[in-house]
Amino acid sequence: MIDALWTGWRSQYLEGLTRQTAKDAQDQESVFTQILKANISDEDAFIVHRGELVFVILNAFPYAVGHLLVLPYRQVNDLSSLSAMESLELWATVTRASEILSTVYEPQGLNIGINIGRSAGGSVAEHLHVHIVPRTVGDANFMAVTANAKTISEPLNVTAQRIRQCWLETTMP
């Protein structure tokens, strides 16, 4: 028998999703493209790093404090659509962001992954993005099981400031 755990904390996130076919998703601007075109500050958008071809943004609905997304500026929906330069910068930035998170939060581990396509869990399937989630023993604690709630112990603006500061203060080898 499989037990179902209620994750009501995700309701705000799920309400923002629309049901659409993969083709429809490709034709629409992603939330990330909309953020980039909105002419808002990086601080207000929670963008913590900008490279030449890719950028890093905090996940607005984080699984854990420091949950980052690394993605190309150009809206593509799969790895094979990246140019060679985009791919190179994307993976170098994933590596760098992992180092930054390790410095700032000292996690005991990291989850790094990509969900390609809506059925694979890609909630923004039209814009490829790499998740980097710092993990510690016990970060998925009793609150999710007993209170149907997830605790995020740090506001996004504080997380963004800590990560930005570390990015600026450390240099790449």
Cα dihedral 123→52→104→38 (10° resolution): -50
Of residues 100, 86, 106, the one with CA closest to residue 161:
100
What backbone torsions phi and psi does residue 28 show, to the nearest 5 degrees? Answer: -100, 150
Based on the residue annotation, tell me whether 129 is a catalytic residue of this protein. yes
Tokens (6 digits) for 153: 């112990």
Q: Choosing from 67, 127, 129, 131, which is the catalytic residue?
A: 129
**H or E stretch covering 110:** strand 109-113
The vertex-35 CA angle with 32 and 40, nearest 5°, equals 155
Q: Is 129 exposed, middle or buried (0-12, 13-18, 19+ CB in 10 A)?
A: buried
> Could you give the residue numbers annotated as active site?
129
